[in-house]
């Protein structure tokens, strides 16, 4: 244990009275009781320096030693010997602890006393205030540099470019990587060929052995789209092309909700910030033609085709890889086809999903027949409701989101409390206090709204009393029209009652959702699984 001691007296008269020696004797006794050793060179003395100022030579030396992590602990007689001002005490303790040096007071150790707790509250509030100021200054400073053309908006250059290793974010250091730039030019030229899709471009690159920017054997569709939509290849670098928003729920209906901090969404081109010019790899005309083709292909994609009717459209998932199954007609036969089988680029593994094509007519008939069976025998639904009692069926992601919201609101409450303590301690002015408290309260209101929404969903799902009767009434109303139902009526019923159909080879798992409110047939309740072997 590398221990140091700090002693201080304010006036020359106290020095003459040898009060600093009395401090040293008490500190030495404390160190001996702890079983530590205190070398003479680790004793820092400020003779005749006021505790109201931080400009003290021995204190500066102590802070320097702690900054380079030469000390594990420093012993001080009392907090007022370290500094008279509470804020100064907070600054010093925070700085020393960051260097791995804890502060121990002999006469007034930190405890549950109101003054000590106030000090802790102020430390937290001021530290948070400083972090907020630093974050805002960095944001504004970065924005100013971007607008002045002094800073590149990316830390890693786009595929086809390289930067100066000593100045990775200097616009003047951007150069074209000839080999990769040729690949980029080929990607643009290939995609502009008649009848060429992103998948065919990926296949050509794979056949030629050209690896993706991350070194994979297969270029994913998203990687190619990023290349084809990046205006930097025309020689113009922009910042602010995307902004964050609340995260999307999930990419597959069978996969849990993610915990991403945010989702990036495009920004209108007129809001982009022009930063710099770099060597162009393609012409502006090529880039515009590619953008037009991307937009056109997106609008005429097979997912937008409503010509053929599929009873389970957008409800089928692959049991092997978890991806959604798209509907497609081949030679007058309709199939549900896993996206991982049709496009191996979805996973980037270079291998197709091994799932078989699912004949749409057969699968539609199986699901519709089972749906009719469930509605004809509502007692099976009642049994499922009884099994659901206790809430164990509640989706895990809903529980996790509720817990996250509770923790978020608790953290905001602690921030407001620390902010109030900082204002009462005259650490921050009233205007700053009102501004920051308003921001925190607005965040809390937003979280409270989300919490109410989730709680409403949970209450709706957990309301079991009296549900069995309403389920029986619902089934009685619906089953009378099952035999003569048109396709549109069947489709509406399927959308209402089926959450997902999971197909794994010869197995079909149907996940039902049953309404509980007789006044609203769009209210979901519980899952009932039926497996076919």
Going through 35-142 in order, the beta strands assigned E by DSSP cover: 43-47, 73-76, 102-105
Q: What is the number of alpha carbons within 13 Å of residue 477 lying toward its C-beta?
A: 11
Task: Please state whether beta strands 316-318 and 498-504 pair in parallel, antiparallel, or not at all (unpaired).
Answer: parallel
At 515, list the tokens.
């309404």
The helix or strand, by DSSP H or E, that contains position 454, with its residue range, turns out to be helix 430-462
3-state secondary structure of 149: coil
At 248, list the tokens.
């999307």
CA-CA distance, 147 to 237, in Å (whole number)? 11
- Phi, psi torsion values for 161, nearest 5 degrees: -125, 160
- Phi, psi torsion values for 358, nearest 5 degrees: -105, 115
Task: Please state whether beta strands 43-47 and 73-76 pair in parallel, antiparallel, or not at all (unpaired).
Answer: unpaired
At 305, list the tokens.
């085709």
Confirm if 109 and 410 have CB atoms less than 8 A apart.
Answer: no
- In the sheet with 507-512, reading across from the earlier edge strand, the strands are 316-318, 498-504, 507-512, 529-532
**533: closest CA among 504, 512, 511?**
504
At 508, list the tokens.
């079909």
**Active-site option among 10, 202, 223, 358:** 10
Tell me the chain's radius of gyration from C-alpha atoms.
Answer: 34
Q: In this structure, which long-range contacts are made by residues 440-445, counting pairs with CB atoms below 8 Å and at least 24 apart in sequence?
A: 440/412, 440/415, 440/416, 441/416, 443/412, 444/409, 444/412, 444/413, 444/416
Residue 18: DSSP 8-state: T
317 is catalytic: no
Confirm if 83 and 50 have CB atoms less than 8 A apart.
Answer: no
Confirm if 202 and 219 have CB atoms less than 8 A apart.
Answer: yes
Known catalytic residues are 10
């Amino acid at each position: 244990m590398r221990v140091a001691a700090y002693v201080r007296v304010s006036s020359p008269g106290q020095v003459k009275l040898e009060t600093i020696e009395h401090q040293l004797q008490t500190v030495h006794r404390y160190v001996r009781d702890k079983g530590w050793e205190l070398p003479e060179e680790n004793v820092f003395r400020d003779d005749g320096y006021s505790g109201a100022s931080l400009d003290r030579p021995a204190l500066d030396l102590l802070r320097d030693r702690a900054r380079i992590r030469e000390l594990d602990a420093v012993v001080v007689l009392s907090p007022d010997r370290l500094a008279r001002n509470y804020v100064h005490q907070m600054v010093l303790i925070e700085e020393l602890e960051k260097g791995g040096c804890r502060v121990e007071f002999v006469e007034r150790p930190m405890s549950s006393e109101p003054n000590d707790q106030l000090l802790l509250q102020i430390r937290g509030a001021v530290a948070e205030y400083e972090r907020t100021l630093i974050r805002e200054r960095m944001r504004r400073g970065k924005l100013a540099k971007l607008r002045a053309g002094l800073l590149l908006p990316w830390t890693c250059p786009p595929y086809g470019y390289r930067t100066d290793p000593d100045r990775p974010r200097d616009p003047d250091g951007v150069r074209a990587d000839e080999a990769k730039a040729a690949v980029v030019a080929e990607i643009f030229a290939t995609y502009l060929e008649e009848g060429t899709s992103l998948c065919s471009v990926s296949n050509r690159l794979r056949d030629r052995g050209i690896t993706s920017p991350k070194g994979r054997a297969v270029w994913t569709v998203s990687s190619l789209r990023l290349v084809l939509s990046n205006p930097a290849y025309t020689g113009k670098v922009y910042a602010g092309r995307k902004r964050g928003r609340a995260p999307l729920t999930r990419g597959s209906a069978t996969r849990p909700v993610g915990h991403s901090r945010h989702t990036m969404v495009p920004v209108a081109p007129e809001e982009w910030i022009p930063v710099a010019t770099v060597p162009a790899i393609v012409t502006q005309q090529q880039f515009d033609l590619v953008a037009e083709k991307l937009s056109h292909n997106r609008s005429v994609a097979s997912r937008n085709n409503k010509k053929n009717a599929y009873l389970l459209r957008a409800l089928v998932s692959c049991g092997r890889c978890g991806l959604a199954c798209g509907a497609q007609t081949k030679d007058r036969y309709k199939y549900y086809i896993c996206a991982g089988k049709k496009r191996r680029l979805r996973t980037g593994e270079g291998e197709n999903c091994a799932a078989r094509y699912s004949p749409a007519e057969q699968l539609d008939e199986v699901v519709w027949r089972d749906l009719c069976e469930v509605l004809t025998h509502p007692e099976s639904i009642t049994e499922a409701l009884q099994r659901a009692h206790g809430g164990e069926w509640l989706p895990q992601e809903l529980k996790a989101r509720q817990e996250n919201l509770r923790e978020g609101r608790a953290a905001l409450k602690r921030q407001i409390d620390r902010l109030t303590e900082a204002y009462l301690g005259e650490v921050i002015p009233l205007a700053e206090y009102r501004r920051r408290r308003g921001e925190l309260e607005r965040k809390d209101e937003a979280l409270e709204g989300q919490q109410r929404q989730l709680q409403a969903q949970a209450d709706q799902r957990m309301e079991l009393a009296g549900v069995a009767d309403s389920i029986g009434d619902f089934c009685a109303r619906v089953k009378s029209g099952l035999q003569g139902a048109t396709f549109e009526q069947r489709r509406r019923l399927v959308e209402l009652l089926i959450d997902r159909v999971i197909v794994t080879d010869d197995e079909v798992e149907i996940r039902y959702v049953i309404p509980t409110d007789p006044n609203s047939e769009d209210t979901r309740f519980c899952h009932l699984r039926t497996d076919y072997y």
